[in-house]
Structure 1
Amino acid sequence: MRLAVIHINGLLKLVLSLLLVLCPALPKAQPPVKKYIFSKGDMQISLSKNISEKELDDFIKQYDVADLALKQMIKKNFADSIINNGWKVDVNDNNLLVISKKPGAADIVNDITGFIKGSINIDIGNPIPLNKQSYGINNFRKQLPFTIKDSIVTFTLNGRGNANQVMLAGNFTNWQQGAIPMVKNGNDWLLPVKLKPGKYTYKFIVDGEWINDPYNAIVEGDGEGNNNSVFYVSNYLFKLDGNSNAKRVFVAGNFAGWEDGKIKMNKTTTGWELPVLLDTGTYTYRFIVDGKWITDPANPNKLPNEFGEYNSSISVGKPVLFLLNGLTAANQVYLAGSFNDWRSFELKMKRTATGWEIPYVLGAGNYEYKFFADGRWIDAEGTISKEHEPGSVFVIGANYTFRLKKYAAAKSVFIAGDFNGWSPNAYAMKKEGDEWVMPLHLATGKHLYKFVVDGNWIIDPGNNLWEENEHGTGNSIVWVK
């Protein structure tokens, strides 16, 4: 086995060359043999009989092979555990133990991950934003999605055994600059990569030719004329035990518009499940078992719905604490906003010594909210408000600041655009010196907007980018990368 680790432009590239290894007894001057490799498509472990107990313990822990009882084999020739786990003994003399096994789907993950982890830990890249998505689900043709174990994703390209070289490139490798050679295993190519939950785009480079994953049905453009395969590393598992006689089970929720029959769960030996990537936020959902809507029996967290029933609820991420000072004499207070479709019955607040509070998880975005206290709408300052009036605004993860200059004498300025439904009086800008400013969170891509100055709509005088609208008055344009 040769292993070369090359640093190019500060990026780590891994070059693996696997050769058949038959390990003869080593002279005592050499360190003891302790290898776990691929050899002609087989998994192979080679161990010297003179290996120290500490070295053997470290090897067993590193490659997670405690179930093979290697200590008993070396000391007492106890081979039952090795054989029962599907391995065979190739060499067993006074100096050397060599065992091997044909890898199955699950074994590939354990073995190739263990091999590379023993050489170098591939831990690269960050996910790309879900942007306007709330969730992501993998969709592969004719095969299951890539196996994930302990945050290790084993990328697989099947049926390219005739290729001389296959490399993996993606947003997590800085594409071609950090492309990583894959390992050949029979007619397939494999590579384990440690990835945190998130959305990733990738391609294979087969003998110099860039291709999308032929088995992955999800492809999206990168805005530069290229289409790339998409893979989601999940952070939540929808799971429904039992119901083994059901023909179909779906999950529906606010993350997917409550659409019936859109998200199908997979049948398992114990029930139904589906791994999903959920963006930061709070979500409500139900299972649909052969047409019957039910809450998740394993999830105690529930929120009331408009039918007088309940929906199961999950949160991903850290909560924001909403506070309302005063109104200590109120009987009930609820939080409502653009984040829960202004449901005034859903988020019941908890009474405190000075008012009311409720923690609620939200992702990056721009939000409006109000409180509903004993049948009356109240804004963040505690002022009574009408139902149709805009709520108080707060922003999480602001990434763009709108600025309007030369209107220092204006009494009020609002920002309106495709990011707030073109509301003329919801997003009030703040005067700072001789300009009006408002930081907002904008999704990647193109956005249209205008300013509303003392009731008059104007395009941004400081922005030369604009396009015509249906009124013939134009809209300013901002691009977010």
Structure 2
Amino acid sequence: MIGRFIHKKYSCFMRLVAVMMLLFIAVAGTAQDDIKVCTVKDGKMFIWLSKKLPPAELDAFITKFDLGHLALKRFIESGFTDSIKLAGWVVGLNNASSFTLAKPLASFDGINDPAKRITFMGLEPPMDLQFPSVSNSVVFGYNKFRNKESFAIKDSVVTFFLRNNKKAERVMLAGSFNNWDPAALSMTKTDSGWIAGVTLKPGKYWYKFIVDGKWMTDPDNSMAENDYAGNTNSVYFFTNTVFRIDGYSQAKKVFVAGSFNGWQGNKLALNKNANGWELPVYLAEGTYTYRFVVDGKWMTDPANPVQFPNEYHEMNAVITIGVPHLFTLNGFPEAKTVIVTGSFNGWRKDELYMKKTDKGWELPYVLGKGNYEYKFIVDGKWITDPANPPYGNNKEANSLLVLNPNYTFRLKGYAGAKSVYLAGDFNSWNPSSIPMRKEQDDWVFSVHLSRGKHLYKFIVDGKWIIDPDNKLWEQNEHDTGNSVIWFNE
């Protein structure tokens, strides 16, 4: 229950430092039933626990080392590992009797310096950064309720509704929109349940109800997610788009599929109504192509005149959210066709045909804030943007477009490096799309980051490294670690 488990400033490992990294074993001997270890060894934070500990002993161990965010009880009962992995731990030994968890320290350099130890362990980020409503990682979303309609919206006010619970004396609403404050938002009792209005903007939100002091997810909401602390929260999307197709009253199933969901033709079902079929969704800023699938037959949107060609010599309907960016290519008056393509449309070479002008070629195209690669295709020949060449004039690279740069990465201590690249979740971990620029003895580059958590690394002369000036990091699947930044725009 996220509202009651807002973490303390330091993680469990600060407890380890406080006891000078001593080994704690509750009962002497080697019996598997008695194992309770939480320590640091071989450069790793290490936990070894018996699965047969009495509940009181397990609770005491979890409290002593502030391990509540790992959801160890759920792991012992059902093998649930989401919270463990999200916190950067790796499961080692795991049998019927006991299990081990390990998490590497960034370094033992300065381990006797209390300030550096605090940095190793990391401060908990603010709640609003852990649950950003708009993020580059969330392209689309929709709501799926049972036994009740989706929450009513009027003038940006969303009316959250908890059905039944008529005997409850007090019901509160807490979520990412009010920093999970359990006392901030009282719900009003009605003849069918409880309601509360919240002013929101389009995006993704997490929430829970608190019924007479007991936290609970929305029993009528099929959309729920586990957070990094081992709690399950209901998810609500404030939608900004409605996919709609009129008619087809005899159809059994109608789906929408598009670039926003990888063209999965049987995932997003429209709901039948008196006029046809529709599905409200949330879409992040950008341009999207889509088609309907009516009883297995793919078709474009007959009511949408904006269409792009596809590889099957058919047309896809187009929907845009946001303000267009104008792609321009000067010159090439003799060219017959010029196409712009990039990471924003899957590098399709049959979709974005530019229009000829007096100065060259242009195409307005809606993109959200972010980091993109692109090229032009002039009569079949791929070229970078002459007005925006890749850094170092690398002919194999792509032109880079950063819309709304708001954070500058800086790498110090590598003045002698020949090349440095930046990669992270903000560019799909592409190791060659963001070449950093030399600024005296440092390497720098500005990108766009959405609010919340981001992972990144530097590639120095072909070698991947974490940021030496950022002690906040977490483990990855390669056991090499990723640097972490919590960004608040």
TM-score, normalised to structure 1, is 0.67
Shift of residue 323, structure 1, vs aligned partner? 1.5
Per-residue CA deviation, residues 376-420 of structure 1 (Å, 9 max, x unaligned), is 111111699999933111223445432112333444322234554
Shift of residue 186, structure 1, vs aligned partner? 1.8
TM-score, normalised to structure 2, is 0.66
* Greater displacement, 336-345 / 141-150: 141-150
| Secondary structure of the structure 1 residue equivalent to 2:260 | helix
- 2:438 aligns with 431
Q: Following the alignment from structure 1 to structure 2, what is the Cα–Cα distance between the partners of residues 399 and 384?
A: 21
Mapping 1:64-83, distance limit 5 Å: none
Per-residue CA deviation, residues 157-213 of structure 1 (Å, 9 max, x unaligned), is 111111111122222233326622222112411223332322222211212222211
Q: Following the alignment from structure 1 to structure 2, what is the Cα–Cα distance between the partners of residues 283 and 387?
A: 30
Kindly indicate whether residue 448 of structure 2 is the aligned counterpart of residue 441 of structure 1: yes
Question: Which amino acid is 1:461 matched to?
Answer: P
- 1:407 aligns with 414
* Greater displacement, 431-440 / 267-276: 431-440
Bigger relative contact order (CA 8 A; separation at least 6): 2
Question: Which amino acid is 1:429 matched to?
Answer: M
- 1:264 aligns with 269
| Secondary structure of the structure 2 residue equivalent to 1:172 | helix
| Secondary structure of the structure 2 residue equivalent to 1:357 | strand
Q: Following the alignment from structure 1 to structure 2, what is the Cα–Cα distance between the partners of residues 373 and 182?
A: 60
| Secondary structure of the structure 1 residue equivalent to 2:344 | helix
Question: Which amino acid is 2:437 matched to?
Answer: K
- 1:202 aligns with 207
| Secondary structure of the structure 2 residue equivalent to 1:247 | coil
Q: Following the alignment from structure 1 to structure 2, what is the Cα–Cα distance between the partners of residues 268 and 183?
A: 30
- Is the contact made by 2:474 and 2:484 (CA closer than 8 Å) also made in structure 1? no
| Secondary structure of the structure 2 residue equivalent to 1:339 | helix
Kindly tell me: are residues 383 and 446 of structure 1, through their superposed partners in 2, closer, same or farther at Cα, counting changes over 3 Å? closer
- Is the contact made by 1:138 and 1:232 (CA closer than 8 Å) also made in structure 2? yes
Kindly indicate whether residue 356 of structure 2 is the aligned counterpart of residue 351 of structure 1: yes
- 1:478 aligns with 484
- 1:392 aligns with 399
- 2:165 aligns with 160
Mapping 1:201-220, distance limit 5 Å: 201-220=206-225
* Greater displacement, 373-382 / 417-426: 417-426
Q: Following the alignment from structure 1 to structure 2, what is the Cα–Cα distance between the partners of residues 471 and 237?
A: 41
- 1:140 aligns with 145
Kindly tell me: are residues 202 and 158 of structure 1, through their superposed partners in 2, closer, same or farther at Cα, counting changes over 3 Å? same
Shift of residue 465, structure 1, vs aligned partner? 5.1
Shift of residue 471, structure 1, vs aligned partner? 7.7
Q: Following the alignment from structure 1 to structure 2, what is the Cα–Cα distance between the partners of residues 249 and 456?
A: 49
Kindly tell me: are residues 344 and 204 of structure 1, through their superposed partners in 2, closer, same or farther at Cα, counting changes over 3 Å? same
Shift of residue 141, structure 1, vs aligned partner? 2.2
Q: Following the alignment from structure 2 to structure 1, what is the Cα–Cα distance between the partners of residues 136 and 431?
A: 25
- Is the contact made by 2:426 and 2:454 (CA closer than 8 Å) also made in structure 1? no
Question: Which amino acid is 2:446 matched to?
Answer: P
- 1:91 aligns with none
- 1:328 aligns with 333
- 1:50 aligns with none
- Is the contact made by 1:137 and 1:232 (CA closer than 8 Å) also made in structure 2? yes
Per-residue CA deviation, residues 48-81 of structure 1 (Å, 9 max, x unaligned), is xxxxxxxxxxxxxxxxxxxxxxxxxxxxxxxxxx
- 1:244 aligns with 249
% identity of equivalent residues:
53
Shift of residue 223, structure 1, vs aligned partner? 2.7
Shift of residue 479, structure 1, vs aligned partner? 3.4
| Secondary structure of the structure 2 residue equivalent to 1:347 | coil
- 1:379 aligns with 384
| Secondary structure of the structure 2 residue equivalent to 1:348 | coil
Shift of residue 245, structure 1, vs aligned partner? 0.7
More strand by share: 1
* Greater displacement, 392-401 / 360-369: 392-401
Kindly tell me: are residues 413 and 130 of structure 1, through their superposed partners in 2, closer, same or farther at Cα, counting changes over 3 Å? closer
Mapping 1:76-115, distance limit 5 Å: none
| Secondary structure of the structure 2 residue equivalent to 1:255 | helix
Unaligned runs of 5+ in 2: 1-130
- 1:315 aligns with 320
Kindly tell me: are residues 325 and 276 of structure 1, through their superposed partners in 2, closer, same or farther at Cα, counting changes over 3 Å? same
Question: Which amino acid is 2:422 matched to?
Answer: I
Shift of residue 328, structure 1, vs aligned partner? 2.4
Question: Which amino acid is 1:275 matched to?
Answer: P
Kindly tell me: are residues 171 and 418 of structure 1, through their superposed partners in 2, closer, same or farther at Cα, counting changes over 3 Å? closer
- 2:467 aligns with 460
| Secondary structure of the structure 1 residue equivalent to 2:268 | coil
Kindly tell me: are residues 356 and 174 of structure 1, through their superposed partners in 2, closer, same or farther at Cα, counting changes over 3 Å? same
Per-residue CA deviation, residues 72-92 of structure 1 (Å, 9 max, x unaligned), is xxxxxxxxxxxxxxxxxxxxx
Per-residue CA deviation, residues 275-328 of structure 1 (Å, 9 max, x unaligned), is 111111100000111111111011000001010111000000111111112222
* Greater displacement, 298-307 / 203-212: 203-212
Kindly tell me: are residues 358 and 400 of structure 1, through their superposed partners in 2, closer, same or farther at Cα, counting changes over 3 Å? same
* Greater displacement, 140-149 / 440-449: 440-449
**How many residues are matched?**
354
| Secondary structure of the structure 2 residue equivalent to 1:175 | coil
Question: Which amino acid is 2:270 matched to?
Answer: M
- Is the contact made by 2:136 and 2:426 (CA closer than 8 Å) also made in structure 1? no
Shift of residue 236, structure 1, vs aligned partner? 0.6
